[in-house]
Amino acid sequence: MTDIQGQISHKTARRRHHWRRDLVELAALFTAVAVADGLSNVVAHGPDGPFLLVASAVALIATAVFHIWWARRNSHSPPFPDTGGTSDTDATATDDEGGSTPRETALWRMRTTVRDAPGSLAALCTVLAEHRVDILTLQTHPLADGTVDEFLLRTPAELSAADLSRAVAAAGGADTWTERADAHDLVDAPTRVLGLATRTALDAAELPLALRQLLGRCTIHSLPAVSLTGRATGETAPVEGVLEATVMRLRDPSGGAITIERPHLPFTPTEFARARALVELDARLGPRVPRGEDVLTLPEGNEITVRRAAPSDLEAAKALHERCSDRTLGLRYHGPVADADRYLGHLLSPRYGRTLAVQTASGRLVALGHLLWDGDETEVALLVEDSWQRRGIGSELLRRLVELAVEARCDSVYAVTQSSNTGMVAAMRGLGLPLDYQIEEGTLVVTARLAKSPRVSSTTRRG
């Protein structure tokens, strides 16, 4: 594979050798000899010999310094300056005369299935080289009747996903899938998996996020074994898990099952093994919530503490419900007030998201903020005790929840409330983010877009 990459990389292509350059160098050599002979005669026989000798030495030193500066500037410039986006400039692309011309490039993730036969990968790499495509990383996923090759590519900006898929199909690739990549993908697979394992080990709420980043764009559902009403749901999975093309089911360490769906791309046995290993790591470590708290001072001088909530806060959360009015509970849970306590076990579990708790100096819980993983979407929800409302606590919680969503690389967050809940609407507007409003029968859904540009993907299936 190293030899193939060396052949296809345009950055290592040698410049053409020109006979004109040899002629110029030879003429310069004869000129230098003639000038040296003349200087030697002047130094030996002329009255200003020592002065001319010193001047010649200074001129030679200045010429050498200029030559070193020019060589470093034109021969060792970085090939790909970091632009922080999905496209950058190739500063070492060579033209026919041997010079360098900048060229816009883009990053793509591509997956294709090839025959498990000698020369299949070489044919694919040759076609990519013909289109000036640079292979940055390559992973192979063996199958029973072939091999799935996953590439991270740097391509000319004008090369579209459709053109790339057609070129790969001509080289024998089938079921080709492409997606725009970004700077986060410029990490090799072992490093990325170790990073995801570390995040999972530190925080149980990271498992769904780690699985999503490990497997790409997919939908993850954590299905509990017991419903909110206390009835068994029958949701479970074998210890070894189940893999069925575009769906995999894994046993949830906290009970129930984790279902992962990716309709646009079947899972490979390698991906299934990696996902199962992450879930097994989570099961061995048990329940865990990272420690840490921030003490804030409200405008009137009261101090509050913001920290991560855990299942151990269940009784304090029930006491918070008892102190809240029916209207406050109704705006939060959109259903019968008597059922509010049933949701707390789900909300405080790190499996379904992250919850922030606000407590007073005496330790009383006065507010909760939830960031909930809802398939491939993310919901935010707030509950603030009546006597502590209108003090900026809800806005502070919402801001922190959005920061957590950005860290999790979510594209957007949404809040479900009633159109009369002016406090929640004001808090969402205070984020300073683009908002979308959807009203249906008195229910208001406000969506805040976090990503500046969506990821573009396309799938081409070929037999």
pLDDT, tens only, 188-204: 778 888 888 898 888 88
Buried b (16+ CB within 10 A) or exposed e, 348-370: bbbbbbbbbbbbeeeeebbbbbb
User: What confidence score (pLDDT) does residue 373 get?
Assistant: 84
Spell out the residues 6+ positions from residue 75 whose beta carbon is closer than 8 angstroms to its own. none
pLDDT at 107 over 50: yes
pLDDT at 105 over 80: yes
User: Helices (DSSP H) in 46-141: which residue ranges?
Assistant: 49-75, 120-130
pLDDT at 60 over 90: no
pLDDT at 323 over 70: yes
Pick from 14-28, 102-116, 215-229, 240-254: least confident = 14-28
Question: What is the Cα–Cα distance from 335 to 320, expressed in whole angstroms?
Answer: 17
Torsion sign over Cα 106, 108, 113, 114: positive
User: What confidence score (pLDDT) does residue 71 get?
Assistant: 63
Question: Mean pLDDT for the chain?
Answer: 79
Q: Give me the percent of the chain exceeding a pLDDT of 90.
A: 23
Q: Give me the percent of the chain exceeding a pLDDT of 70.
A: 74
Query: Model confidence over 414-453: pLDDT tens digits?
Result: 999 888 888 899 999 999 999 999 988 778 999 999 864 3
**Cα 293 versus chain centre, distance:** 27
Pick from 48-57, 273-282, 303-312: least confident = 48-57
Residue 90: exposure state from Cβ atoms within 10 A (0-12, 13-18, ≥19) = buried
Mean pLDDT over residues 112-130, rounded? 88
pLDDT at 287 over 70: yes
Check residues 71 and 449 and name the one with the higher pLDDT: 449
**Whether 218 contacts 375, CB under 8 Å:** no
Other beta carbons less than 10 A from residue 220's beta carbon: 19
Mean pLDDT over residues 121-145, rounded? 87
Whose structure tokens read 């009137």?
A: 300
Cα-based distances in Å from 362 to 295, 305, 356: 13, 10, 18
User: What confidence score (pLDDT) does residue 293 get?
Assistant: 82
User: Helices (DSSP H) in 171-238: which residue ranges?
Assistant: 189-202, 206-215
User: What confidence score (pLDDT) does residue 338 get?
Assistant: 83
Pick from 211-220, 378-387, 446-455: least confident = 446-455
- Using pLDDT thresholds of 50, 70 and 90, give the confidence band for residue 32: low
Q: 151 — phi, psi (to 5°)?
A: -115, 150
> What is the dotted CATH code of the domain comprising 294-449?
3.40.630.30
Mean pLDDT over residues 304-324, rounded? 93
Mean pLDDT over residues 338-349, rounded? 86
Does the pTM of the predicted model rise above 0.75?
A: no
Task: Compute the C-alpha angle 74/76/79, nearest 5°.
Answer: 100
Question: What is the Cα–Cα distance from 356 to 308, expressed in whole angstroms?
Answer: 5
Query: Model confidence over 214-273: pLDDT tens digits?
Result: 888 788 888 777 766 666 666 777 878 889 889 999 988 777 888 999 887 888 898 999
Mean pLDDT over residues 6-29, rounded? 54
pLDDT at 157 over 50: yes
Q: What is the identity of the amino acid at 11?
A: K
Task: Take residue 445 and report the two structure tokens written for it.
Answer: 């859904």
pLDDT at 459 over 90: no
User: What confidence score (pLDDT) does residue 447 get?
Assistant: 93
Question: What is the Cα–Cα distance from 100 to 102, expressed in whole angstroms?
Answer: 7
The CATH class for the domain spanning 87-185 reads alpha beta
- Using pLDDT thresholds of 50, 70 and 90, give the confidence band for residue 13: very low
Question: What is the Cα–Cα distance from 282 to 285, expressed in whole angstroms?
Answer: 5
User: What confidence score (pLDDT) does residue 228 get?
Assistant: 61
Pick from 311-320, 324-333, 454-463: least confident = 454-463
User: What confidence score (pLDDT) does residue 209 get?
Assistant: 84
Q: Which segment, 21-30, 267-276, 293-302, is predicted with the most confidence on average?
A: 267-276
Q: Which segment, 282-286, 296-300, 362-366, is predicted with the most confidence on average?
A: 362-366
Domain limits, the chain: 87-185, 189-285, 294-449
Torsion sign over Cα 361, 363, 369, 371: positive
User: What confidence score (pLDDT) does residue 217 get?
Assistant: 78
pLDDT at 289 over 70: yes
Whose structure tokens read 């694919």?
A: 124
Mean pLDDT over residues 175-181, rounded? 85
Q: 296 — phi, psi (to 5°)?
A: -120, 150
User: What confidence score (pLDDT) does residue 400 get?
Assistant: 94
Question: What is the Cα–Cα distance from 168 to 171, expressed in whole angstroms?
Answer: 5
Task: Take residue 346 and report the two structure tokens written for it.
Answer: 């789900």
**Whether 380 contacts 370, CB under 8 Å:** yes
Q: Let me know if the fold of 87-185 is the same as that of 294-449.
A: no
**Whether 80 contacts 102, CB under 8 Å:** no
